[in-house]
Chains A and B, each alone.
Chain A
Amino acid sequence: MLTKIRRWAEAHPFFFAPGFVGLATLLFIPGRELLGKGHWSLLYLLVISVVASVAGTKPSFVAAVTSFLTWNVFFLPPYNTFRVDDPKDWISLGVFLIVGLLIGLTSGRLREREAMALSQEREMALLNRLTGRLLAIEGALEMAETLCSEIEAVFSPAFIRFHLISGGEKRKLLFGEKNELSMDPLEEDFLDWVVENRKGVASPAPDVARSWSSGGSDNPASHSSIFSAVSRGDVFLPVLSSSGIEGILHVGERRSRKPYGWNEVQLLFAAARMAGTFLERSRLDESARQARTLKEGDKLKSAIFSSVSHELKTPLSSLTATISGLLEQDAEPEPSRVRQELLSVKKDLDRLSHSIGSLLELSRLAAEAWKPDLQWVEPGEVLGWVLFRLDKTDRERVRVDLSEHTPLILVDFQQWGRLLMHLLENALSYSPAGSPVAVGVRSTDEGFLTWIADEGPGIPDGEKSLVFERFFRGTFSNRLPGGTGLGLPIAMEIARVHEGSIHIEDNTPAGTRIVVRLPATHVMETEE
């Protein structure tokens, strides 16, 4: 209620001040004879103080002048005229006017200081919040949304638009809507001007109290200095970074139509600069990442190349030898011998096929085509798909330990299947023929764990981290002649694109236990 009165008083000072004095006078007149004329002047000073504290300097001046006149007319004899009988009263009147004006000036100043402190506090809070929130953000769009929502909360403008500038000049509206019907013919011109001059456009209300503190060449230009006779309430600000202009922040006029103050424009400018730094930083991060990927890709390509010659040539030469041997025999070979040779041919072919499959997978990895197609699936669905693809003898070695009820996991079905397949094939190959390989899952606070445990010789401590290197073949790799050394790195890469991880532990009493972790964000507990 009080703030409403205050706001109305601020908006209409020349109605409020005389109105208030008039009201007081109506109350005072019936008691005119109870007090002396001097006492009434004191009460009028009280009225002036109230106006000053409620409405500020200018209204209090109006109140001082009005009180001066009413005191003279109604309380200094003769009543109801401007005439003053006693010449001493002229001195009282003069002193009254000066004191009244001084009261207004002082309390008005106090009020303005208070308002300034308040708005400074609000501005600091805005910048603080922005800094904090921008640190936790990744994309440009999210940044623009955050920035605009903070500005919206503080200034309530009619609209906010964030234009992104890429490739030096090209402008793209990143945030905010544009209503085609209410086309603003000058908007494009102003935007172009900002891009060209790297300066803002704003016509802030003059702010005597603080204009001294601002200054400098990057102050915004006024609308009318660009297009003469144009008067607008909106603000265009360049989003600058050390490498140039990153975008434009266009803040519409306040919904209350109150013009922006000089400091408020400065605050918006600071926020825009923060956005510029953010955009520059994320661009640099991205290019650093790309450079890294490129370098890794090169390393990968040469590794693939060197492995291709080995992995493909070995089975090929063995194939050639076996088959030419069969063909060149003088006598017809024994059927049992033919069968034996054919079995070895098939083994070589399996190895070839396996190597080619892994290399294809890795080259896709190198080409960064590994965007997982995420879906909620049941862990057993994927596991079933993997088991179904194993040889019967291998499948019979796998002991699956799944609880009746498992959560849903968010994975790319095929990729997750291939990850499990690589780990299972490794476990099956590196452990004695016929020995069991256990697979189980568990849902924990840290996420969803899948473990695969074998009873093989285990991995020496020194090699546990090396096995994730591409093409690394461990101490026991001779047990897996078909292995390319690519299985674990591929599995690792799949886990990585799912934001998960793989750890190697010793299995008790013997063997290796590989644990794959999916983060909790990829797990959904279902009812039951």
Chain B
Amino acid sequence: MTSAPERNVRVLVIDDEESIRRALKSILSARKYEVALAATGAEGIETAIETNPELIVLDLALPDMDGQDVCTELRSWMTAPILILSVRGNEADKIHALDAGADDYLTKPFQAGELLARIRALLRRAESRVVSPPELRAGDLVVNLARRQVFLKGEEASLTRTEFEILALLVQNVDCVVTYRMLMEKLWDDKEERDPQLLRVHVSNLRKKIEPAPSLPRFIHTEPGVGFRFTLE
């Protein structure tokens, strides 16, 4: 699980805590990532322009700028994934940053393994945006996006259009968080129709069709207050 990337991926870390910057640099450098560091939001944006990183790790609590504003600023011209670091309990900040263009989040304190897994998932997703994802296999579950077919233990599961759309979006973002907003925007063009409670009902029905034990989800995990995450583990 600790395999290094095939080439040197440029990662920018924006965090005001020196110890965190040092730790991240040592963890990432050991896996052959090329690490650039910034201590403030302004410096982070500056460094991003200079180094054009392929992934950004951004702490939400910065001395000079709101992490959310940094996200908005970066998103205005770059597409590289942004991973947010936040402390537990700041759900609202997290959601705002995700809405402002961040791609996923990690709650402090975190283990090195978790950080690396998130980074890998984000990079994988960034690449698969160019090449369409192959058929996805997770245990007994097979999802074929092109043919719009889903098999559980070899038997085809019949999903409604909405359920398939949800599953497709989750699978395209495997191991990454998919927010309620992303899902609702995809499902319902009309803003009036967007209803989180209804979305939860659809997800619940989807779980019943694809989870080996629907009452204890294994693939589709709930990220409370934020959205869902499809995991392969």
A residues contacting B by CB (< 8 A) are: 353, 357, 360, 364, 373, 376-385, 387-388, 400, 402-406, 413-414, 417
Contacts and interface: CB of A to CB of B under 8 A. Distances in A.
A424 to B, nearest CB: 14
Given A357-B88, A378-B204, A405 B215 contact: yes
A298 to B, nearest CB: 24
Contacts of B204: 378
- Name the residue among B88, B197, B217, B223 with the largest chain A CB count within 10 angstroms: B217
Given A353-B109, A384-B221, A413-B222, A364 B89 contact: yes
Contacts of B214: 380, 404
Which 7 residue pairs spanning A and B have beta carbons closest together?
A413-B224, A380-B215, A402-B215, A380-B216, A384-B217, A381-B222, A414-B224
Contacts of B216: 380, 383-384, 387, 400, 402
Given A357-B88, A360-B89, A378-B204, A406 B215 contact: yes
B146 interface: no
A387 B218 CA distance: 10
Contacts of A376: 197, 200
Interface in B196-233: 197, 200, 204, 213-218, 221-225, 231
B204 to A, nearest CB: 6
Binding site secondary structure of chain B: loop
A513 to B, nearest CB: 20
B5 to A, nearest CB: 24
A383 B221 CA distance: 10
Contacts of A382: 222
B222 A384 contact: yes
A397 to B, nearest CB: 15
Given A413-B225, A414-B225, A380 B217 contact: yes
A385 B222 contact: yes
Contacts of B224: 385, 413-414, 417
Contacts of B217: 380-381, 384
Contacts of B231: 388
A385 B221 contact: yes
A514 B89 CA distance: 27
Contacts of A388: 221, 231
B71 to A, nearest CB: 23
Interface string B100-139: 0000000001000000000000000000000000000000
A364 B89 CA distance: 10
Contacts of A414: 91, 224-225
B222 A402 contact: no
Nearest to B204: A378
A403 B222 contact: no
Nearest to A441: B215
Nearest to A378: B204
Contacts of A402: 213, 215-216
Contacts of B197: 376
B112 to A, nearest CB: 11
Nearest to B109: A353
Contacts of A379: 215
A403 B215 CA distance: 7
Nearest to A402: B215
Contacts of B91: 414
- Name the residue among B200, B218, B221, B222 with the largest chain A CB count within 10 angstroms: B222
Contacts of A417: 224
27 contacts: A357-B88, A360-B88, A360-B89, A364-B89, A376-B197, A378-B204, A380-B213, A380-B214, A380-B216, A381-B217, A381-B222, A382-B222, A383-B216, A384-B218, A384-B221, A384-B222, A385-B222, A385-B223, A385-B224, A402-B213, A404-B214, A405-B215, A413-B224, A413-B225, A414-B91, A414-B225, A417-B224
A385 B89 CA distance: 16
A404 B88 contact: no
A387 B222 CA distance: 12
A482 B204 CA distance: 37
A503 B191 CA distance: 46
Nearest to A526: B204
Contacts of B218: 384
Contacts of B223: 385
A385 B214 CA distance: 14
A514 B159 CA distance: 39
A500 B149 CA distance: 44
Given A353-B109, A385-B224, A378 B88 contact: no
Given A357-B88, A360-B89, A378 B215 contact: yes
B106 to A, nearest CB: 13
A373 B218 CA distance: 25
B160 to A, nearest CB: 17
A380 B221 CA distance: 10
